Every structure is written in structure tokens, then in C-alpha cells.
Structure 1
Amino acid sequence: MGRQATEMLKGILEGIVLALLSGRSAYGYEITAWLRDRGFAEIAEGTVYALLIRIEHRGLVDVEKVPSEKGPPRKVYSLNDRGRAHLDEFWETWSFLSGRIDELREEGR
């Protein structure tokens, strides 16, 4: 992934993670694996964990500590009502921006 794509991804990664969590609860490594499976291979685990801490502090997710077979308990993240509202706003913004960008692309052809 080039630098431009990396910078764009930083701006929308929160929405992508919230969208993943809208389907089911998950812990940090699972989220990173899902992202990689969906083609976001260059996203570092540290980036995902930092984002999870931010959305936890902002009250967008609920967190439950679940025992792990190896090591300390895992933090499992679930999207809550506030997070769903934030995700809805993200999709509205995404639709608006992507529509305007598509229009610009078509005008330039």
C-alpha cells in the first residue's frame, strides 16, 4: 500500500473497525486478522490496539475481560448504542464524500 492509501486509511480506520464490531464482538487480535483477511495487510497490530483504546475511552464500545487459554484475560470489544450511532454517522458521511468524489472523477474524464 502506498503512502497516500495509508494516510487515507488512517482517516477511516475507526469506521472500519466499528463496522466490523457491528457484526459481532471481538478482541484485538481477531480484529487485526479480520482486517488482514479483507486486504488491509499493512495495518500494524499496534495501530489497531491504539484505536481500540481511543474508542473505549470515547464510550463507543463495551469491554469485557474474558479468560484466555494463554496469558492474561482478553479484552473483548462490543459495539454499544453510542457506537452504533457513531457508525451510522460514519456511513452517512462516507456516502456523501464518496458520492462527491465519484462526481469529481466523472467530471475529469
Structure 2
Amino acid sequence: MGDVSHSTFAIGSHARAESHHHAAGHDPAAEELLAAVRELRADLARVRADDRIRALDEELAGAEDEISRTGTTGESRRQRLRELLTDAQTVLSLFTSAGTVAGLLGM
């Protein structure tokens, strides 16, 4: 069958499927950061990536996954994102999305 996460199915003539999915409790600040992270990742796809941009995109992808799964992101990831945003500032100054993420990270 492959990967069947977040799915419900039943097999057989008397099979009965029940599904109980509980989404992680996302707070509004995490939702705002998630939207900003996604916007910045979309913007980064429009530029020629160097090592700094690739590292930033990888960390943003991790943050996106973490927020989607848990509803929050840890302080160590936030600090790493702050560092990577600072390192890539010359390219990022072109994008308002970078300013949004930086602001939400308290930079």
C-alpha cells in the first residue's frame, strides 16, 4: 500500500473504518510564522541559490514541517533561522517576505 498516513480505510465485507485525527494545537503566532516561512520559501525559489540560500531553505523547510506537525517551533530552530537570515541578508533584502519572517522571529 505504501505510505498511508492521515488516512482511514477498511478492507472486507464487514469492515468498519473509524478515524480520529487530532490536529496539533497551532497558536496564531505559529500560524503567522508558518505562512511567512512558506512565502519566503516561494520567493527563494526565484533566485539563484548559493550555499547560504540553500542552507536557509533547508532550515525553513524544517521549520515548516515542525510547525505543521507540532504547532510550534523550538527556540534552537528559531535561533538557527535568525543566523541564516543574517548570513543571507544581501539577497534577502529584495524580499518583503524575509522581513516578515525576521520580524516574527524577533530580529
- The one of the two structures with greater contact order (alpha-carbon pairs below 8 A, sep at least 6) is 2
Higher helix share: 1
Higher strand share: 1
The structure number with the bigger radius of gyration is 2
